[in-house]
Copies of this chain bind each other. A is one copy, B any other.
Amino acid sequence: MSAKNFVVCDWGSTNIRAFLYLDGKQVEIKKSHEGVTTVRGKDCEGAFDRLTAEWFQKYGPMPTIMAGMVGSINGWTDAAYLDCPVDLGDLSSQLTEVHHSKGYKIRIVPGICVRDKDNWNVIRGEETQLAGAFKLSPSKVYIMPGTHCKWVLADGSRVNSFRTAMTGEMHSIMMKYSLVGLGAGEQEDSEPDFMAGLERGYTENNIVPRLFEIRGANILGGIKPCHVGEFLSGLLIGAEVASMQKIFKFTKEDSPLTVIANDFFYARYEKALKLAGLEAKQLDADTCFLEGIIPLAQSLL
């Protein structure tokens, strides 16, 4: 057993990804769909063993560190939320111990939260990406697009505050369950429709009446049904950027804002930020995650 062998887990709502490090180097990745929503706190040890037992049989017990929804109330063990402002350099002293029947050394990274009367907010999983991003790209503002898009105010290794826009989830449920997506059918890319939505969402920041109008335009021939999703995406992202700019009062001096996203999302947010007069910079989410979690894993060795 080498002192530099360890396992790193990104355990979210829908998936688990486990990374095996031998002698300090990543040698294998395993994935399963036993995310927290599936397991719901019932057999986390089983889900973990099913995914990684082969590694433990081959290389013996290895310290394991986990981040993500596995630390939520429906996860393996309820890991704390640390209150902002919080120094992510201190995460290694705030890990939560997990009981494994074989006595494996497993720890979960805490989430972070804001408990203001004006802002109740939680992050679980992204704090680990942020810890990595702080090293790779020092910025005042980080944006992490996705189901729940996080906007984080940082200062060195400290998170001062953050907010969340439910943009991805809203897009998904509006297309799936609301009149906006009803009968819209298979969707196609459309830069002009995305841009039209983006400009409306950003300049008005007034989505309540605009959502139904997507349906109206669909019925009356103002938009092709297959482009409804693109307009909606633009509308929501535009409103998100306008809202965050209004709340946080971003100026050019806060630029470039670091967007932790794949190319697809980065392209959309870069356009939205440009409309807001702000510059963007891209970082890869997996790179940030590993950069953030490896020092925590090493702290267990």
Contact = CB atoms under 8 A, between A and B. Distances in A.
Contact of A208 (B81, B114, B166, B178): B166
A81 B220 CA distance: 9
Q: How many chain copies does the complex carry?
A: 2
A216 B178 contact: no
A216 B177 contact: no
A286 B213 CA distance: 26
Interface stretch (A21-29, A46-54, A118-126, A274-282): A118-126
Contacts of A165: 208-209, 212
Interface in A164-208: 164-167, 169-170, 173-174, 176-180, 205-208
Interface string A213-226: 11111011011000
A67 interface: no
Interface of A: 73, 81, 113-115, 117, 119-122, 148, 151, 163-167, 169-170, 173-174, 176-180, 205-209, 211-217, 219-220, 222-223, 236, 239-240, 243-244, 246-247
20 contacts: A113-B220, A120-B217, A120-B220, A121-B212, A121-B213, A121-B216, A122-B215, A164-B213, A166-B178, A166-B212, A167-B208, A169-B178, A170-B178, A173-B173, A173-B177, A173-B178, A177-B177, A205-B206, A206-B243, A209-B243
A-B residue pairs, 4 tightest by C-beta: A120-B217, A120-B216, A164-B212, A121-B216
